[in-house]
Amino acid sequence: MHNEIIAESGGAAGILNEGALESTLFKPRNIYHYEEDITLYKLAASYGYGLVKNHCFIDGNKRIALIAVYTFLAINGIELISSETDAAIFFLELAASFGKQEEDMNRLASWLQINSEPIND
Protein backbone atom coordinates (compact mmCIF):
# COMPACT_ATOMS: atom_id res chain seq x y z
CA MET A 1 0.00 0.00 0.00
CA HIS A 2 2.79 2.42 0.94
CA ASN A 3 4.72 1.83 -2.29
CA GLU A 4 1.58 2.55 -4.33
CA ILE A 5 0.99 5.83 -2.48
CA ILE A 6 4.60 6.92 -2.99
CA ALA A 7 4.52 5.95 -6.68
CA GLU A 8 1.32 7.92 -7.17
CA SER A 9 2.04 11.03 -5.12
CA GLY A 10 5.82 11.19 -4.80
CA GLY A 11 8.39 10.86 -2.08
CA ALA A 12 10.95 8.34 -0.94
CA ALA A 13 9.83 4.73 -0.59
CA GLY A 14 10.93 2.45 2.20
CA ILE A 15 10.54 1.59 5.84
CA LEU A 16 12.36 3.91 8.23
CA ASN A 17 11.69 2.02 11.46
CA GLU A 18 10.56 -1.60 11.21
CA GLY A 19 10.00 -1.89 14.96
CA ALA A 20 7.74 1.16 14.97
CA LEU A 21 5.78 -0.25 12.03
CA GLU A 22 5.34 -3.61 13.75
CA SER A 23 4.24 -1.90 16.97
CA THR A 24 1.77 0.27 15.06
CA LEU A 25 0.24 -2.70 13.26
CA PHE A 26 -0.19 -4.79 16.43
CA LYS A 27 -1.50 -2.05 18.72
CA PRO A 28 -5.15 -2.24 17.54
CA ARG A 29 -5.15 -5.97 18.25
CA ASN A 30 -3.84 -5.28 21.75
CA ILE A 31 -6.51 -2.61 22.29
CA TYR A 32 -9.20 -5.01 21.09
CA HIS A 33 -8.17 -7.71 23.54
CA TYR A 34 -7.31 -5.67 26.62
CA GLU A 35 -9.33 -2.45 26.70
CA GLU A 36 -13.00 -1.79 27.32
CA ASP A 37 -15.46 0.26 25.26
CA ILE A 38 -13.83 -0.66 21.96
CA THR A 39 -15.24 0.81 18.76
CA LEU A 40 -14.15 0.47 15.16
CA TYR A 41 -13.34 4.18 15.29
CA LYS A 42 -10.97 3.65 18.21
CA LEU A 43 -9.23 0.79 16.41
CA ALA A 44 -8.96 2.86 13.22
CA ALA A 45 -7.61 5.76 15.27
CA SER A 46 -4.92 3.48 16.66
CA TYR A 47 -3.72 2.71 13.13
CA GLY A 48 -3.92 6.35 12.10
CA TYR A 49 -2.18 7.71 15.16
CA GLY A 50 0.61 5.14 15.04
CA LEU A 51 1.31 5.65 11.36
CA VAL A 52 1.36 9.45 11.72
CA LYS A 53 3.33 9.72 14.95
CA ASN A 54 5.73 6.76 14.82
CA HIS A 55 7.36 7.77 11.50
CA CYS A 56 7.44 4.18 10.30
CA PHE A 57 8.27 5.13 6.71
CA ILE A 58 10.88 7.37 5.12
CA ASP A 59 8.12 9.48 3.56
CA GLY A 60 4.34 9.45 3.26
CA ASN A 61 3.45 8.68 6.88
CA LYS A 62 0.39 10.96 6.96
CA ARG A 63 -0.77 9.73 3.55
CA ILE A 64 -0.48 6.05 4.51
CA ALA A 65 -2.21 6.78 7.82
CA LEU A 66 -5.22 8.29 6.07
CA ILE A 67 -5.42 5.48 3.50
CA ALA A 68 -5.01 2.81 6.20
CA VAL A 69 -7.80 4.34 8.29
CA TYR A 70 -10.04 4.67 5.23
CA THR A 71 -9.35 1.04 4.25
CA PHE A 72 -9.87 -0.35 7.77
CA LEU A 73 -13.21 1.43 8.09
CA ALA A 74 -14.33 0.36 4.60
CA ILE A 75 -13.50 -3.29 5.30
CA ASN A 76 -15.72 -2.97 8.36
CA GLY A 77 -18.66 -1.41 6.51
CA ILE A 78 -17.99 2.26 7.25
CA GLU A 79 -17.24 4.98 4.71
CA LEU A 80 -15.13 8.01 5.55
CA ILE A 81 -17.09 10.91 4.04
CA SER A 82 -14.79 13.79 4.90
CA SER A 83 -13.48 15.86 2.02
CA GLU A 84 -9.87 15.17 1.05
CA THR A 85 -8.96 18.69 2.13
CA ASP A 86 -10.54 18.37 5.58
CA ALA A 87 -8.93 14.97 6.10
CA ALA A 88 -5.52 16.27 5.03
CA ILE A 89 -5.83 19.24 7.40
CA PHE A 90 -6.84 17.00 10.29
CA PHE A 91 -3.94 14.59 9.74
CA LEU A 92 -1.47 17.48 9.38
CA GLU A 93 -2.73 18.88 12.69
CA LEU A 94 -2.42 15.44 14.28
CA ALA A 95 1.17 15.14 13.08
CA ALA A 96 2.00 18.56 14.55
CA SER A 97 0.24 17.90 17.87
CA PHE A 98 2.22 17.66 21.08
CA GLY A 99 -0.81 16.32 22.96
CA LYS A 100 -0.87 13.12 24.93
CA GLN A 101 -1.31 9.93 22.93
CA GLU A 102 -4.64 8.98 24.51
CA GLU A 103 -6.08 12.47 23.95
CA ASP A 104 -4.97 12.57 20.32
CA MET A 105 -6.29 9.05 19.66
CA ASN A 106 -9.65 9.95 21.22
CA ARG A 107 -9.77 13.13 19.15
CA LEU A 108 -9.03 11.12 16.00
CA ALA A 109 -11.64 8.48 16.89
CA SER A 110 -14.25 11.22 17.43
CA TRP A 111 -13.33 12.91 14.16
CA LEU A 112 -13.63 9.60 12.31
CA GLN A 113 -17.04 8.90 13.82
CA ILE A 114 -18.33 12.37 12.93
CA ASN A 115 -16.97 12.10 9.38
CA SER A 116 -18.18 8.58 8.59
CA GLU A 117 -21.36 6.74 7.76
CA PRO A 118 -22.36 3.11 7.23
CA ILE A 119 -21.81 1.79 3.71
CA ASN A 120 -25.13 0.96 2.08
CA ASP A 121 -24.83 -2.15 -0.08
Each domain of the chain, given as residue ranges in start order, spans: 2-8+18-118
CATH node for 2-8+18-118: 1.20.120.1870
d(CA 107, CA 105): 5
CB of 116 closer than 8 Å to CB of 79? yes
Name the β-bridge partners of 118.
Answer: 78
pLDDT digits (tens, 9 = 90+) for 10-49: 999 999 999 999 999 999 999 999 999 999 999 999 999 9
Count CB atoms within 10 A of the CB of residue 84: 8
pTM for this structure? Answer: 0.91
Answer for the pair 41, 113: CB distance below 8 angstroms, yes or no: yes
- CA nearest to 63, candidates 41, 26, 91: 91
